[in-house]
Amino acid sequence: MIDEKLIERLRDIVGEEYVIWGSDDLLLYEYDGSIDRSPPGAVVLPGSAEELAACVKAAHEHDANVVPRGAGTGLSGGAVPLHDSVVLPVTRLNRVLEVDVENRVAIVEPGLVNIELSEAVAQYGLYYAPDPSSQRACTIGGNVAENAGGPHCLALGVTTNHVLGVEVVLADGEKVWLGGTSRDTFGFDLRGAFIGSEGTLGIVTKVAVRLMRKPEAVLTMLAAFRSLDDASQSVSDIIGAGMVPSAIEMMDRVTIDACEPVYHPGYPDDAEAVLIVELDGLRETVDEHGQRVREICRANNSSEIREAEDDEKRAELWATRKGAIGAFGTIAPNYYLVDGVVPRTKLRDVMRQVREIGEELGLTIGNVFHAGDGNLHPCILFDGRDRAQVRRVIECGERILEACINAGGALSGEHGIGIEKQAYMPLVFTEADMAAMAMLRPAFGAGERFNPGKVFPGGAVHGSAYGISEEAFRATGPGGLQAV
């Protein structure tokens, strides 16, 4: 239990109305977008960087754990509070503090919603490149914690490529800057080490981001295919032709069926997959690459190609892709989204394995993902009220991740490790690797006080909210989930 003296001190810092303790309202903060959940000990909503630092200092002096939280849209359990932690949402710190148009740099607070940054700088012909599919809800601070990506990160990179510096609060309440506001810094890249650390090293209070100029021309294309293999081959052929579009996204038949009654995109009835390919840059280059993409898609038996060259039509093509996850609710009440990465040349093979794994376990899987960089997002659809089904879902996710690793891929493309993937870390890293990574915590003075039980094996049991015990979940290698 959280010490009542700590609660009183936190109330003194932020005001009584911004401390949630001992009420059912705590349940609102026990989960994120993953299937894992755990109740917090308390929730405190600071209104400034100074208040946040004071809260961290108070928690440190009372030996309490703290968990940073953005909008709670994460998909690996990173914001799920373990070990009776104090949750510190940054949603009240949501301002654009400064925009340097000439140098294309903005300083923002961590609770700023991702899309609101691009909206704020649009008047200057600028935008912020990383655009997670949840960008209308997710926060910049959460993006930093998870090193978030998005559909348009194929050519431009993910969050770490667009963050120049961060102001962070360390475990003792001290505020420090890592990096700065320029692209050139000296010494160790502590900024880079912090981005993607999933709230285990400190809490962000300011972020210096680089902004991009809007391109001269943009062409968005949607190509429908009668087979998933043909769509996957088109992805490899587009990249193999020397082009790097700003985005290549794929949706399969299950996803199409989920989206059709919700968004009414009118995709062909015989389409087993659709690709969204977006090109941007100089007009001449976009025209040339657009023609080449058309040729590649037709050579791979595309049944229909749609194009959009104005913002309204482009938004229509993207609306279904960006809202696809929510549409899965037309098929099942719950979903579990896996975030593995494979080399593009292995895309067809791994997609076949995903289908076979789902069929073997009797599960429906919808695929909607960043095909251009091989970042798979199989969505396993299920009913959380069926415990036996949940076991199969977690086994399915494990086997998909193993398939990604065996193909030369990675555990995560943008959603992080959190609770979900920590038991699978030995599939990729040695004990020495993980020991070296774990040394960052004491180096930052964090110990186990920041976001405890995350990232490293043994911190938590994935699926425990559905009654899966540690004995039942022994993921120490292939076939780790055992029925006991």
For residue 151, which of 247, 280, 236 has the smallest C-alpha distance? 247
What does the pLDDT look like over 401-434, one tens digit per residue? 999 999 999 999 999 999 999 999 999 999 999 9
- Taking the C-alpha atoms of residue 111 and residue 122, their distance in angstroms, rounded to an integer, is 19
Q: Where in the chain is the domain with CATH 3.30.43.10?
A: 4-89
pLDDT (average), residues 109-135: 97
Instruction: Give the CA-trace dihedral at 221, 328, 400, 37, to 10 degrees.
Output: 130
CATH code for the domain defined by 332-415: 3.30.70.2740
How many percent of the chain have pLDDT more than 90?
91
| Beta pairing class for 66-69 and 86-89 | parallel
Note the pLDDT of residue 473. Answer: 62
Residue type, 375: N
- Taking the C-alpha atoms of residue 128 and residue 148, their distance in angstroms, rounded to an integer, is 13
Neighbours of 196 (CB within 10 A): 19
Residue type, 362: G
Predicted confidence band of residue 185 (pLDDT cuts 50, 70, 90): confident
pLDDT (average), residues 285-307: 97
CATH 3.20.20.390, applies to 4-89:
no
What's the mean pLDDT when you consider all of the chain? Answer: 94
Prediction pTM value: 0.94
How many percent of the chain have pLDDT more than 70?
97
Contact 358/364 with Cβ under 8 angstroms? yes
Q: Is the pLDDT of residue 63 over 50?
A: yes
Note the pLDDT of residue 183. Answer: 77
Q: Where in the chain is the domain with CATH 3.30.70.2190?
A: 217-327
Note the pLDDT of residue 481. Answer: 44
pLDDT (average), residues 122-142: 96
- Taking the C-alpha atoms of residue 341 and residue 350, their distance in angstroms, rounded to an integer, is 10
- Give the pair of three-digit tokens for residue 28: 């609102």
What does the pLDDT look like over 21-43, one tens digit per residue? 988 999 999 999 999 999 999 99
For residue 324, which of 270, 389, 274 has the smallest C-alpha distance? 274
Q: Where in the chain is the domain with CATH 3.30.465.10?
A: 96-213
What does the pLDDT look like over 146-155, one tens digit per residue? 999 999 989 9
- Taking the C-alpha atoms of residue 89 and residue 47, their distance in angstroms, rounded to an integer, is 10
Q: Is the pLDDT of residue 467 over 90?
A: no
Q: Is the pLDDT of residue 174 over 50?
A: yes
CATH fold, domain 96-213, is 3.30.465
CATH fold, domain 217-327, is Alpha-Beta Plaits (3.30.70)
Q: Is the pLDDT of residue 465 over 90?
A: no
